[in-house]
Structure 1
Amino acid sequence: MSLSKKILIIVLLISNFNVHAYNRRHMKRLEQFLRGLQYEFNERTIHSKRLEPAGDCTADILEGYQWDGQDAMNVPGVDSHQVCMDNCDMNEKCMGWSYKANTRMCWGMHSITGVIAVPGVNSGSCVGQNLKAKCEEKKEGQYLSNTIKTLENIDTVEICMQRCDEEKLCFGWLYDEYGKNCYLASSLGEFQPGPGFLTGSCIATQKRIRLADPLKVFRKEILQRHNIKRKDHCVGDLALDDNLNTVSQQFAEKLAAADVTPPDYDATKMQAVYYGKGDIALNGAIVVDNFYNENKFYNYEKPDFSSTRHFPKIIWKSSSKLGVGRAFTVDRKSMFVVITYDSTDTLTDSSYQSNVQKKCS
């Protein structure tokens, strides 16, 4: 249902309310409906951004240079280089990314052939190692290249190769056997065989690898954000628990296999379920923030899990452990996150008062 249709429904509800609709029960339902509508709207419009890189695309960080090569993606309107990094991380063909802050443009390269000096650009690779390799290739001919330095009176091809090894941004070399000139290049194009020149590429083999288990990274993000929020309420830190991770993961996989929007979860359990469309790159911290933002609706005098069923669980004082599960639908267009806490408290008014504290900082 579109946002405009939902707004129309609200108008009709309000316009047809009679005096009995103002009793507590009906007003509470309307408030919950409005909050649900706002939450869904936020879910559709929020940018999926990580607060820090996960570790996959953090090699070869360069400032003032843009990768040259074959494009894998061009993404406009990107807010930070971390988000650009994540876009590349999600694209299995992307070997490296470049980001220009003042234009908010993100580029990803399928095959990197070198670098070009561009002020204001940050770049990084996703191959888990330096893209610059030791110069070992040697063949007759020349690459079409972007020459950054010309060295004269170089007696041997081996010396020319050594000079490229010593130059941080040299990704290839060309040696003129007759003129004894050595040309160092920051990027390489098409190879053209022929006599008179020796040349070679100093670019490493490009193969995507994953430096960190993404689920472990995600769990760490969830945990860290919980503890930041708990500190604001002067309650102790949580720790990850393997058993709770297993329980959460099994439930997340069950939900993803069913591939339907889950109903409002049983508010009597110390468990929270997140569901979102198109949230493949969503950082764990963003999930926690979505839950925590319910605090604006929380009434410390008359607590109620039915309208703010996630926020209290984040700062629940008697909890000491949590587990996290994350699963995707087969088409990877939907993500389910399950967070399970170790507290066995019965959710009564007295337990709320002793476990849900106002901000202390």
Structure 2
Amino acid sequence: MSHPFPTPPIQPFERLQATDGLLVNAERWRKAHDYHRRRQNAHYQSLNQPGIVCGLGVQVIPAPKQVEAKYRDKRWLKIQPGIAIDLSGNVIVVPQPIEFRIATTVTGAEPVLLYLTVSYLDPDELRQKQQVEMVQETFRIDEKSTTPNSAEIEICRILLQPGEVVISQASEVFFPGYNNLDLRYRRQTQTRPQALARMAQVNHSDGDCARNFFNLAYLSQAVESLSSNLRGTDEVGQITLSENLSEYDLLYLTGTQALSLNSQEVASLKAYLDAGGVLLADAPVDAQKLIDSIQSLATLVGSPLKPLEELRRDHPLRIRPFLFAALPVIGKQPIRLLSGGGIVLIIGDIASAWGIDRELALPRMTIRSAHELGINILNYGVKRRQLIGLQQEDNLGRW
């Protein structure tokens, strides 16, 4: 799985070699200016991620009076002026308000998620009716029922309900419903993260293996706020050890019973660990069967676990990006951490403190310290995989 904001292609730049007497025609002039555009775009793409700079608000409006009667319905929006920058570093400027009608109809019984996007249009790629001295860079507004591609900037989305559509503003903007404008997923321009941390829950025979699944999303959400160089994914995966594990930096495994793996699963896990992946086993303090089986598995793959206290004091699990002396206390008991060869064993059920507990009783500092240690583990997984990957053939797609 590649980075959602990939770096520029690894291609050398070519620029016009100026000499006395050089004839400057239109083609050479274009090449000279294209060189500067490509360098500017590559600079932006290297350091930043695409998104909206300002404006581009979306307003529900009555149908304009000048349109035909059959189009005077309650599907009209006004897109406000604004600026965005796309993945390639192209600046998209919408200088005037745009009246736009949502044309999509829902033909089936299920609602349709509709995306409204803006994208850059290069005037050199448009058919010009006449030659002019100056051309204006422009844009395109689209509505689509598929996920926006890398060249498109999402302005808003709408969950269209079957039947007659009346577009409206949500009564609660954080929880829009059917046919409401949903602006929660607009991406703002910001510094490009150095890495994207991808997590997946390991599903196995223990019926308790999914008890912390939703808390993994809370950790992923906390990454962006607490770490400047790392981002979490919008979704947490689910996987078994017999599947392809290479898409994920960290596999999360929990339960209470002993882990039972066949030879194929052990081989798959060992290959994943050897390639730099990390398995986080999170066990309650009384889940001795699971604890013993994880320690046996670590020995089986050639990486016996050692307590954090026996590892170097500058081990990344302890210091990066957050510094820990004592580990967080969960349920009035300090957790224990053991590690070796890409396997991290937490004894203390740390993921239970990554989310909102049912009684709403977890202290804020408990959640915060649990998040910080979780981010240390994620950072360890991402960096371990990166350092091992850099010693292997072509790992460009990930970083």
More helix by share: 1
Q: TM-score, normalised by structure 2?
A: 0.20
Question: Higher relative CO (CA 8 A, sep ≥ 6), structure 1 or 2?
Answer: 1
Structure with the greater alpha carbon radius of gyration:
1
